[in-house]
Structure 1
Amino acid sequence: MISDYPIKSPRKLIEVALPLDAINAACAYEKMPGIGAHPRGIHLWWARRPLAAARAVLFAQLVNDPGYQQGCGFKYGKNKKEAAIERKRLFKIIEELVLWENTTNEEVLERARVEIRRSWREVCELNKEHPQAAELFNPEKMPAFHDPFAGGGAIPLEAQRLGLEAYASDLNPVAVLINKAMIEIPPKFAGRPPVGPEIENKQGKSLELPKIWPGATGLAEDVRRYGSWMRDEAQKRIGHLYPPVEVTEEMARERSDLKPLVGKKLTVIAWLWTRTVKSPNPAFTHVNVPLVSSYILANKDGKEVYVKPVIEGDKYYFLIKNGTPTTEAKDGTKATVRGANFRCIVSGAVIGSDYIKTEGKAGRIGQRLMAIVAEGTRGRVYLPPTLDAETVAKDAAPTWRPSGDVPERLTGGTCVPYGLKEWGDIFTPRQLVALTILSDLLSEVRELVREDALASGLSDSEKGLGDGGSGVIAYAEAVSVYLAFAINRCADFCNSVTRWVPGNQKVMNLFGKQAIPMTWDYPEAAILADTVGGFAPASKYVADCIGKLSPAAVGFASQADAQTQSISMAKIISTDPPYYDNIAYADLSDFFYVWLRKSLRLFLPGLFSTITVPKVEELVAAPYRHGTKQKAETFFLTGMTEAIHNLAEQAHPEGPVTIYYAFKQSETSGQDGTSSPGWVTFLSAVLSAGFAIVGTWPLRSEQEFRMIGMGANALASSIVLVCRKRSADAPSVSRREFIRELNGVLPEALDEMTKGSGEERSPVAPVDLSQAIIGPGMAVFSKYSAVLEADGTPMSVRTALQLINRFLAEDDFDPDTQFCLHWFEQYGWNENLFGEADVLARSKSTSVDAMKEAGVLQSGSGKVRLLKWAEYPSDWDPRTDKRMPVWEALHQLIRALKQGGESASGALLAALGGKAEAVRQLAYRLYTLCERLGQAEDARAYNELITSWTGIESVANSIPKPSDPQLSLFDN
């Protein structure tokens, strides 16, 4: 445990201000497709932090804020004017640092490192009399960094890039291996030239090569070279399974585009298959009919291609047609738009999902070839299926198949109900043969690399990677790790639950989203071809991504449980914990683990000692593992509290800890019977672990249109919590004292957030301001052991958040209404991204789902919008409404007034009880707001209610007060 002796710790930049606009813009750019090689491409992982976000947060976490500070008996910093100028200079460094083109720009990175080292020396000078100064405050050596939930490795990589010795740990062995590949392996061989034979171009000449190999570029080049050797060797062994296709006269009979190609043998890019089942029609049970979601192969304007089924009695075959596709082609054999419901192609009978599931579980779902995609002289060429092509595919005889169960429950769907229960089931026989051959070739590659490395002069050490080696054996194993990643990339594209995308005419990998849904027609990529899904492009891509690493310091990755690990001791910590119940990391990563285990277990036995990825200890709220949703949530929160407590006890005492938070909140019943969003619960866990929260920053760290967001509500942002350990002797204060301190702290904090950059544009977007203001507010709340209510009970986090938000909202409305008010001010009745709404909702201690249920907004397909008064139901009864925001009551009153006059609205007002005055105040506020925004029609609606209020109130007062005890709810 770190000493509790007082530390003189200046506030860090992240505790005061951030140039959020620049960071968010860089994150959005980095997430765009087509930006080229990226370290994330080394191996797929789910919901990684953008490098720009991680880099900016770490820099701001490590650099002292220039503002004047006093505490622990010391003074530090500049006056307010000087501090603003200096802070602007630091912002400029961050703005350059986060740009994608500067990811490996050593000049820009070194400027950042200089600032980090300068701040560290200042801290060491302030603490030179500390009894542990030699251990904790050595001006010549920065503290190391640790991420205990390292996942895909973005945060440790950026810590290393900024010059810190980086440690990464995770319970998941796939994540550990990714982190080894990101931060541990590259520094061992930095600056070394490649050892493998040079690759020749198509003319048989060696490529022009650089004279020096900075960073990991030499290692990357060897991954290319030995990847090329593996592909060539695989071609010799299984090339017969991937024959070219000859264009025949018959194929070209009605296809003018094929006539110039007759007699030519074309390289196949992919074979397009459809699954089949026996027709449910008793007269055609001998026919295997296709289950096709769409016959469209290419949909670019003017170059459309589709499959046309031709039915002759109880037989059918497929033709390829050019031109505008028919409606039937768009729908395939689907009987309905959604779900596994099809129609029999020969009889028209409906094939329901239950029937298909039964056939699948019995192993009776088959496959039939629909089309062949080949490489022509001017792009893709689509050919009809041939008997030879089907025969070759079905004659493939795999000698090995991965075991382990495909997860039965996943957000976004799973293929298990249709009979694909084990990992080996989701690959075709030919795919299994190819992936197995490539995996087996890795042992041969290791020997080749070892011999070549020895001949190049690399140390003949017998230590491998697992023993910390850096000689020939370790190097051979390192190259094998990256080539195993290339095999995994192939596996992601080469399985039977991928999709063919007509837009860009290529294979879409399985993990375009965090699920393993069933696909009915699927492409089988030619794994030996230079195309998407091919091994050569995969190994080249992995190599290109290695070149984006920056081994500026040593790194270490290990398998450890965050709840019990001791690696964090005296280290800087930034981490991105699991997303509650959104992503089943362990279940999903088994897909990759089974192939990695086959390839790498021989020299990394510790990482691959189990048949599948460990799951019992994984900190996610999975009800199917724990029996009930409540037990799963308890498991998650208890474990997360313990893990965060572990960090609070071990983190270097000089600076804050940063924790990324992003999961779709679910509402659960708290002890007091009220809704308790996951956001509030998580904050409670952080405070219970011994942390004080000194800052919260919303970062746009997710793609707006991720696959999981298509048709679902998915986060578009993360919240970074900035935490410091709370003093063990922290006092308690009364509610009155807490509010008084808030009123003193928040105005200045708000001014910093909106004007602190010195620029005209606010560094904190208006929609983010409610979330950002939580930081300084919770800093006041969480520095005390407790804030005591009038009855002596501790104030809840939820209440504290409501008090903080009232400062910004300047009203006493309920959380749902506060959300609606601020959303309306930003977007009116227009729809906007769910992620935007989710950030604002969490800051108001509510949730989008809860407000959707309350009936004030519409949410779906990744978008959210407020409902207009005309969309509210006319049969609404406030006496039975268990969640009635003032916003809902107001717009129901407007609806009643518009549709039934004062008598109808008066009847509703009578049932509202204590909400009547709040409704009137909200109407005034919205009228003023609409006038300011120039929304005349909306302003008239609120004005009409206000001018009719006396008459409405008169009607309400004439109605006898009900004795229903539920009315007491309306005053809460």
Structure 2
Amino acid sequence: MPQRTSLESNFPAAMLSGVGTKESWRKEVHRPATSTHKWWAKRLGTVFRGIITSATTPDGADAVGAYGSPLDLAGAIVLDPFSGSGVTGVEALKLGAKAVCFDINPVATLVQRQAVQPWDLGSLEAAYKEVESSCRAEVDRLHRTEDGRTVLYYFWVATLGCPECSEEVRLFDSPVFSKNAYPKRVPKAQIVCPECLSVKESRYDFVTEKCARGHVITQRGAVRGQFATCGNGHSFKVLGALNGSPPAYEMYAKMVADSDGSKSYEAITAWDRELYDECVVALAGLSQSAVLPRGRLAPGNNTDQALKWNFREWRDFFNARQLVSLSLIATAIRDLAGSAPEREALCALFSGTLEFNNLFTSFKGEGTGAVRHMFSHHILKPERTPLEAHPWGTPQSSGAFSTLFKSRLRRAHEYKTKPVDLVDRGAGIERISGVSQPVGASIADSWESFVSIEGQAAYVATRNSAQTDIPDGSVDLVVTDPPYMDNVHYAELADFFHAWLQHMHPYIGYSDATTTRRVGEVQHADPVEFGKAIEAVWTESARVLKPGGLLAFTFHQARISGWVQLVESLHRSGWIVMAVQPVKGEMTTSVVKAGAREPSNLDSVVVCRRAVDGATNPNSSVEEALATATRELTDLRDAQVDVGAGDVRSVVRGALLAYLASTGVDLDESVAAQVDSLASKSIEKLLGAGPG
């Protein structure tokens, strides 16, 4: 490791922000190895490649050139203690290093394993076909019309009884249930009569229509916000009318694949209802050995959102046909012989399919991917008008097992075999092969077995990174993205997948616990608890790092208390912050970021060295630290990178608090207030507007 690196001085933030922006819009295309399954806050591979290449490039050298060059870091070991989807591990392996990927959540470990290990394409295709021959015919039979056509999607609506008169109320907020993603360009829409559930074609902006039975249809449904109104005019709060159970659901329409390749919308018939009733009977008759989701939701920041709607067990998230169909697929995968990586990949693929096949999904409309997956808002939000998709699917389907096999597994295999990187050569951003090594690591489950592997290796394990089996001074570089101090709790959300996976046994050693929640999780909404947990990981990282090594991680925090706890935890565990580098963040359109009072686009790359190695903060005063942060933000703004008020505030907070901590100043409320005052002035100076 160089004595001073480009990561600490001439970090190519503007270039990385440009290529990162392109990646952020289609991560599944540009970094498919880490996109085989849902994980939250998945980082940009381009940025993490840039962090690793800059951390191994001397100060003053060509960091931009290093990013786009085929570096060979053979012999180096890169640790990620919060590995998530495995972005750091993949980028390290592509650059010739060995990777250590730890995460406390077993679902994250499953995602990482798919990202770094090789598959034999022939074996993968054969396993897929074996599953298909075992279950597809029955799944198809459960998703068909009376005349044998395939039903792509069933449309449902939640229903409640009016607390005052007991009249059943269908919880539509609008009768328009399908419209184009660009309705002004393509105004055609499908509407449903809330009274008789007949379906007809209209416009998205219709004023009034009459259904086939003569009922007048207007744009207004029964629901407005948290309240619903019955046909007798009684208004009531939806949650208050649940009476201890989840809402009931009623089918009202279906989208059918016609023989000529077109799609049509049709009303639900008595035959459709009888077919669904058959699924209810079939579910009750499934054998005890069939794979089904098991377990109850425990209270939590995210699970409380579902619990208040009385979704108490994970199986409540699915209707009877979904449970039967998904169980058929899951059981067929579980029963594949052996424990090969290809079987494991299909387990992960099935788990990823669940995101699009449950009662928390909705219809996005025509002209786009049809299914809005359940985590589109990073929360467990019940849908009043859920969409039921064909889980095996056809080429016309969205979010189905068969379509995701092609778009996720095949694409990931192609990428790992021949990686393609986004590189800016000066004339524009290009997709270039040949600057990265293929990814196909042998996976170890202990340090001892890891170091004995010749060639490409990854130590991938589910564990608390505050306690590892890595010997002192064994790792060259620690690169990570720690959880934020916020209310999006990954383990609570991951339990949705784990409820199925624990019975599929994706690989030897996969957790059979009833939940993925663990003691020692860093993610916490309470600042003090967050600080304590992350300090333990920083302390362990300092122990296992070689003398002169670096710790670098991305961070963004809207609350100053999060920055205070982060900086103090670093200081207590023996780290000195050498730089806070702003760079393009995960996703500009993130609900959390875009919807914030001060919208943001950037993350901070926090670069640290150990105090025991003689490191000192490079700034000599608050003024110098502020000037450094301002210069870096100005450079990005001048390079046409979007810089928001939240970005300025976050970067300035990090830089100033890091400097003050290095001088021994107690980061109390008065100091935090002074830092925030300087951040507000920086916002006004850089963006020409005051905060808020």
TM-score (norm 2): 0.81
Q: Deviations over 1:268-322 (max 9, x none)?
A: 110001111223343xx3x5331113322124344522323164xxxx3322233
- Deviates further, 423-432 or 301-310: 301-310
Q: What is the aligned partner in structure 2 of residue 322 from structure 1?
A: 202
Q: CA deviation at 1:52?
A: 0.8
Higher strand share: 2
1:276, 1:289 within 8 Å by CA — same for their partners in 2? Answer: yes
1:371, 1:383 within 8 Å by CA — same for their partners in 2? Answer: yes
Distance of 2:4 and 2:669 partners within structure 1: 27
Q: 1:91 aligns with which of 53, 60, 64?
A: 64
- Relative to structure 1, the CA distance from residue 326 to residue 702 in structure 2 (aligned partners, 3 Å threshold; closer, same or farther) is same
Q: 2:405 aligns with which of 525, 530, 539?
A: 539
Q: Deviations over 1:635-654 (max 9, x none)?
A: 32112112111111221213
Distance of 2:372 and 2:513 partners within structure 1: 30
Q: How do residues 243-392 of structure 1 correspond to structure 2 at under 5 angstroms? A: 243-244=144-145, 246=147, 266-282=149-165, 285=166, 287-296=167-176, 297-299=178-180, 300=183, 301-309=185-193, 311=195, 316-326=196-206, 333-336=221-224, 338-339=225-226, 341-344=227-230, 346-358=231-243, 361-362=244-245, 365-376=247-258, 377=260, 379-392=262-275
Q: What is the aligned partner in structure 2 of residue 419 from structure 1?
A: 310
Please give the secondary structure, in 2, of the residue aligned with 1:294.
Answer: coil
2:294, 2:500 within 8 Å by CA — same for their partners in 1? Answer: no
Q: CA deviation at 1:49?
A: 0.9
1:275, 1:291 within 8 Å by CA — same for their partners in 2? Answer: yes
Q: What is the aligned partner in structure 1 of residue 109 from structure 2?
A: 176
- Relative to structure 1, the CA distance from residue 827 to residue 221 in structure 2 (aligned partners, 3 Å threshold; closer, same or farther) is farther
Distance of 1:739 and 1:52 partners within structure 2: 27
Greater RCO structure (CA 8 Å; 6+ sep) = 2
Q: How do residues 104-183 of structure 1 correspond to structure 2 at under 5 angstroms? A: 108=69, 110=70, 112-113=71-72, 117=73, 142-183=75-116
Q: 2:59 aligns with which of 44, 56, 65?
A: 65
Distance of 1:555 and 1:34 partners within structure 2: 22
Q: CA deviation at 1:65?
A: 1.8
Q: CA deviation at 1:34?
A: 8.2
Q: 1:640 aligns with which of 526, 530, 534?
A: 534
Q: CA deviation at 1:717?
A: 2.7
Distance of 2:303 and 2:220 partners within structure 1: 22
Distance of 1:347 and 1:681 partners within structure 2: 55
Q: What is the aligned partner in structure 1 of residue 277 from structure 2?
A: 394
- Relative to structure 1, the CA distance from residue 739 to residue 40 in structure 2 (aligned partners, 3 Å threshold; closer, same or farther) is closer
Q: What is the aligned partner in structure 2 of residue 29 from structure 1?
A: 22
Q: CA deviation at 1:747?
A: 10
Please give the secondary structure, in 1, of the residue aligned with 2:378.
Answer: coil
Q: CA deviation at 1:801?
A: 8.1
1:435 and 2:326 correspond = yes
Q: What is the aligned partner in structure 2 of residue 511 from structure 1?
A: 375
- Relative to structure 1, the CA distance from residue 503 to residue 740 in structure 2 (aligned partners, 3 Å threshold; closer, same or farther) is closer
Please give the secondary structure, in 2, of the residue aligned with 1:653.
Answer: strand
Amino acid at match of 1:15: E
Amino acid at match of 1:370: Y
Q: CA deviation at 1:243?
A: 1.6
Q: Number of aligned residue pairs: give it.
A: 626
Identity score, percent: 17
Distance of 1:618 and 1:740 partners within structure 2: 33
Q: What is the aligned partner in structure 2 of residue 498 from structure 1?
A: 361
Q: 1:521 aligns with which of 380, 385, 388?
A: 385
Q: 1:689 aligns with which of 573, 578, 595?
A: 573
Please give the secondary structure, in 2, of the residue aligned with 1:705.
Answer: coil
Distance of 2:220 and 2:588 partners within structure 1: 30
Q: Deviations over 1:644-681 (max 9, x none)?
A: 1111122121321112222332x6xxxxxxxxx32122
1:660 and 2:554 correspond = yes
Q: What is the aligned partner in structure 2 of residue 610 from structure 1?
A: 513
| Structure 2 stretches lacking a partner, 5+ long | 209-216, 417-437, 441-455
2:548, 2:610 within 8 Å by CA — same for their partners in 1? Answer: no
- Relative to structure 1, the CA distance from residue 404 to residue 664 in structure 2 (aligned partners, 3 Å threshold; closer, same or farther) is farther
Distance of 1:501 and 1:558 partners within structure 2: 37
Q: What is the aligned partner in structure 1 of residue 683 from structure 2?
A: 823
Q: How do residues 620-635 of structure 1 correspond to structure 2 at under 5 angstroms? A: 620-622=523-525, 632-635=526-529
Q: 2:611 aligns with which of 718, 726, 739?
A: 726
1:146, 1:568 within 8 Å by CA — same for their partners in 2? Answer: no
Q: What is the aligned partner in structure 2 of residue 459 from structure 1?
A: none
2:228, 2:237 within 8 Å by CA — same for their partners in 1? Answer: yes
Distance of 2:138 and 2:629 partners within structure 1: 68
Distance of 2:90 and 2:49 partners within structure 1: 9
- Deviates further, 773-782 or 236-245: 773-782
Give the alignment's Cα RMSD to 1 decimal: 3.6
1:439, 1:598 within 8 Å by CA — same for their partners in 2? Answer: no
Q: Deviations over 1:692-744 (max 9, x none)?
A: 1101111222212224456555753321111110038899xxxxxx9994399
2:2, 2:57 within 8 Å by CA — same for their partners in 1? Answer: no
Q: CA deviation at 1:560?
A: 1.6
Q: Deviations over 1:479-524 (max 9, x none)?
A: 1111112211221111011011125361111111211111111110
Q: CA deviation at 1:410?
A: 3.5
2:626, 2:656 within 8 Å by CA — same for their partners in 1? Answer: no
Q: What is the aligned partner in structure 2 of residue 69 from structure 1?
A: none
1:272, 1:370 within 8 Å by CA — same for their partners in 2? Answer: yes
2:629, 2:655 within 8 Å by CA — same for their partners in 1? Answer: no
Distance of 1:558 and 1:165 partners within structure 2: 14
- Relative to structure 1, the CA distance from residue 10 to residue 355 in structure 2 (aligned partners, 3 Å threshold; closer, same or farther) is closer
Distance of 2:644 and 2:205 partners within structure 1: 47
Higher alpha-carbon Rg: 1
Q: CA deviation at 1:391?
A: 1.9
Amino acid at match of 1:27: G
- Relative to structure 1, the CA distance from residue 347 to residue 168 in structure 2 (aligned partners, 3 Å threshold; closer, same or farther) is same
Q: Deviations over 1:223-267 (max 9, x none)?
A: 344324423431233432122354xxxxxxxxxxxxxxxxxx542
1:598 and 2:503 correspond = yes
2:619, 2:659 within 8 Å by CA — same for their partners in 1? Answer: no
- Relative to structure 1, the CA distance from residue 762 to residue 633 in structure 2 (aligned partners, 3 Å threshold; closer, same or farther) is closer
Distance of 1:332 and 1:152 partners within structure 2: 42
1:576, 1:659 within 8 Å by CA — same for their partners in 2? Answer: yes
Distance of 1:709 and 1:9 partners within structure 2: 35
Q: CA deviation at 1:26?
A: 1.6
- Relative to structure 1, the CA distance from residue 480 to residue 45 in structure 2 (aligned partners, 3 Å threshold; closer, same or farther) is same
- Relative to structure 1, the CA distance from residue 592 to residue 715 in structure 2 (aligned partners, 3 Å threshold; closer, same or farther) is farther
Q: Deviations over 1:413-436 (max 9, x none)?
A: 722212211100010111111111
Q: What is the aligned partner in structure 2 of residue 717 from structure 1?
A: 602
Q: Deviations over 1:313-335 (max 9, x none)?
A: xxx33222333444587855344
Distance of 1:10 and 1:331 partners within structure 2: 67
Higher helix share: 1
- Relative to structure 1, the CA distance from residue 751 to residue 409 in structure 2 (aligned partners, 3 Å threshold; closer, same or farther) is closer
| Structure 1 stretches lacking a partner, 5+ long | 1-7, 67-86, 98-107, 118-140, 187-215, 247-264, 448-472, 623-631, 668-676, 732-737, 788-793, 803-812, 830-855, 859-972
Q: How do residues 478-489 of structure 1 correspond to structure 2 at under 5 angstroms? A: 478-489=341-352
